[in-house]
Amino acid sequence: MSNNLSDEYIYKQILKSIVEHQLPPGARLPEDKLSEAFGRSRTSIRKVLQRLALERIVTIAPNKGAQVSRPSEQEAKEVLNSRIMLEPLLIPEVLKRWSNTNSKHFRQMVKAEKQAEKEEDQASLIQLTAQFHYELAHFSGNSVMAEFIEQLCYRSSLIIAAFGSRHSVSCDCGDHLVLIELLDKGEVQRAEKWMRDHLTHIKSSLKLTISDDQKINFQQLFSTMD
Amino acid sequence: MSNNLSDEYIYKQILKSIVEHQLPPGARLPEDKLSEAFGRSRTSIRKVLQRLALERIVTIAPNKGAQVSRPSEQEAKEVLNSRIMLEPLLIPEVLKRWSNTNSKHFRQMVKAEKQAEKEEDQASLIQLTAQFHYELAHFSGNSVMAEFIEQLCYRSSLIIAAFGSRHSVSCDCGDHLVLIELLDKGEVQRAEKWMRDHLTHIKSSLKLTISDDQKINFQQLFSTMD
DNA sequence: GCACCATAAATTGTATACAATATATATGGA
DNA sequence: TCCATATATATTGTATACAATTTATGGTGC
């Protein structure tokens, strides 16, 4: 493989492989193998692995090295619950800045998603789905929040790798187009609700042990729906 | 100084110095000086500095090394706005888990704050104020959110160092006791509102250039208050 | 005195060496 | 055959060496 690659490039490359499920949870990441693959010394690789560890994408055990994180069920719930709380919260700000250009940009992205779906290119589909969410967050104008959400999106991909069912991914797509249309029409509350439901749906598609957290609420289940 | 200190210890030590305004924004953090101070090689120090850089507490410029971050006004606003959004959001969850033990714990903490205030121990006061906020966040049961808020608290300390007025710190204290009493009484909405107002007050105590972001809203200003 | 350039000192970037630890393999006894 | 132990191999942890770059110093001309 070619030489003299920046740390940032190596970081993105490894992250991408994990997010796209090429490197499954638990996969060992030996420093000298990576060192050889990227043609850089172990020093650079360690730096990248430590960064990924801080972001919880990778887990480093003392004297045992790095492996792709195996998120716990607890962590899975917390990450998804965080997204359910935060992403709808940013919708009003996104809408304030919403323009025709944005709309076109995101429609283009949905097109790419559908293309990946048709070609059964799981890797691209996962990556695009996450990208849709964090790019939207970035349009809120609050980059501090957006970067946090971006990390949660990467962690979600890992969580889907660990707890997702066969169709978790494609099913998830649930058509981001609907959201765009709501934003075009300026329907704040419906857009917020869509986002909440969308993420809740992803969460419930995970094969997590049932707990208090997701006891069936018959009241809600059989209430009149819109 | 004594030898063989863990990376974690060094990290906390440097973080503490920055949060407590011993190391002001812009202060250079030369690797070999720190290396000597902690009795470890530059390797360990670099690792710690890189972590702090990812957390935005420190800024590393290529070939120029690390210095304590100088947050921009934009960043200051985004961090505070994020806290204004998030911390009230966690109040309901905190309340669900609220117990007499918690109450006592936080009352103890307020006592310590007041002690620090009386002794004019600015460093402790800043640290305790931040700690109050992030410990509360941890009692929400969502550690993913709590860790993010913890980071935002550290960044806030840095922001106060950069943009705070003389009495930003002591004034801020605005009595955390009030919040505890609201939680004791189970007043969710009032507690949420208290938190929002408290953080908004901190934000407006900063010497930031006036922008759209904080134009005076007369409507709101002269509305009937409770 | 001040700007400018050359040189010296200090500081960071990167690779590598060696020690410490963990994992894998092989050997011997029950 | 299986398990325990010893040895060998592989892998990580840490310090250090050297190159690359920046910052400081000093001298020269104007």
The CATH number covering residue B159 comes to 1.20.120.530
For residues B200 and B202, what is the distance between their CA atoms, to the nearest angstrom? 5
Q: Give pLDDT tens digits for A27-72.
A: 999 999 999 999 999 999 999 999 999 999 999 999 999 999 999 9
B30 CB and strand C closer than 7 A: yes
How many CA atoms lie less than 13 Å away from A185 in the CB half-sphere?
9
Q: Is residue A217 part of a domain?
A: no
Shortest alpha-carbon distance between residue A144 and chain B (Å): 6
Q: What is the pLDDT of residue B166?
A: 64
Same domain, B125 and B61: no
pLDDT band for position A175 (50/70/90)?
confident
Same domain, B17 and B91: no
B54 touches chain A (CB under 8 A): yes
**Lateral strand order in the sheet of A58-61:** A28-29, A65-68, A58-61
Same domain, B91 and B153: yes
The torsion angles phi and psi of A67, rounded to 5 degrees, stand at -145, 155
Same domain, B64 and B77: no
The structural domain count of chain A equals: 2
Average pLDDT per 10 consecutive residues for chain B, totaling 226 residues: 72 95 94 94 97 98 96 96 97 96 95 90 91 97 98 96 76 81 95 95 85 53 49
Same domain, A34 and A125: no
A166 CB and strand D closer than 7 A: no
Q: Which of B82, B77, B98 is nearest to B196 (CA)?
A: B82
Chain A positions touching B51 (Cβ under 8 A) are: 50, 54
B63 CB and strand C closer than 7 A: yes
Q: Two tokens at B14?
A: 């440097």
Show which of B19, B51, B68 is a domain's final residue.
B68
Q: What is the pLDDT of residue B164?
A: 83
Output A189 or A220, whichever has higher pLDDT: A189
Q: Is residue B218 part of a domain?
A: no
Q: What is the pLDDT of residue B167?
A: 67
CB–CB of B85 and A89 under 8 A?
Answer: yes
State the nucleotide closest to A42 in CA–C1' terms: C15
Same domain, B153 and B180: yes
Tell whether the model's pLDDT for residue A166 goes beyond 70.
Answer: no
In sequence order, the 6+-apart residues with CB closer than 8 A to the CB of B145 are A78, A82, A85, B86, B90, B137
Q: Give pLDDT tens digits for B59-87.
A: 999 999 999 999 999 999 999 999 999 99
For residues A162 and A159, what is the distance between their CA atoms, to the nearest angstrom? 5
Q: Which residue is nearest to nucleotide C23 (CA to C1')?
A: A64
For residues A168 and A34, what is the distance between their CA atoms, to the nearest angstrom? 30
Residue of chain B nearest A78, judged by CA positions: B142
Q: Is residue A144 part of a domain?
A: yes
Q: Is residue B178 part of a domain?
A: yes
Chain A positions touching B148 (Cβ under 8 A) are: 82, 148
When mean pLDDT is compared across A185-199, A210-224, B114-128, the lowest value belongs to A210-224
Facing B54 at nearest CB: one of A51, A81, A143: A51
Chain B positions touching A142 (Cβ under 8 A) are: 78, 81-82
Local structure of B164: helix, strand or coil: coil
Same domain, B119 and B45: no
Same domain, B130 and B39: no
Q: Is residue B223 part of a domain?
A: no
The alpha carbon dihedral of A30, A34, A39, A45 has a sign of negative
Q: How many CB pairs under 8 A join A and B?
A: 38
Q: Is residue A188 part of a domain?
A: yes
Show which of A68, A95, A116 is a domain's final residue.
A68
Q: Which of B133, B166, B137, B189 is nearest to B21 (CA)?
A: B166
Same domain, A193 and A115: yes
Facing A143 at nearest CB: one of B78, B85, B152: B78
Query: Which residue range(s) make up the domain with A208?
Result: 73-212
State the nucleotide closest to B65 in CA–C1' terms: C12
B92 CB and strand C closer than 7 A: no
Facing B82 at nearest CB: one of A51, A78, A142: A142
Q: Give pLDDT tens digits for A89-101.
A: 999 999 999 999 9
Tell whether the model's pLDDT for residue A212 goes beyond 60.
Answer: no
Facing A82 at nearest CB: one of B47, B81, B144: B144
Q: What is the pLDDT of residue A164?
A: 83
Tell whether the model's pLDDT for residue A75 goes beyond 80.
Answer: yes
Same domain, A160 and A83: yes
Same domain, B56 and B117: no
Which regions of chain A does DSSP assign to beta strands (E)? 28-29, 58-61, 65-68
B8 CB and strand D closer than 7 A: no
B62 CB and strand C closer than 7 A: yes
Show which of A45, A68, A91 is a domain's final residue.
A68
Q: What is the pLDDT of residue A1?
A: 42
Tell whether the model's pLDDT for residue A219 goes beyond 60.
Answer: no
* CATH, residue A35: 1.10.10.10
Same domain, B81 and B186: yes
Q: Is residue B179 part of a domain?
A: yes
Q: Å from A40 (CA) to C14 (C1')?
A: 9
Q: Å from B146 (CA) to C1 (C1')?
A: 60
In a mutagenesis test of the B interface, which of A82, A144, A192 is the best target, namely the one with the most B β-carbons within 10 Å? A144
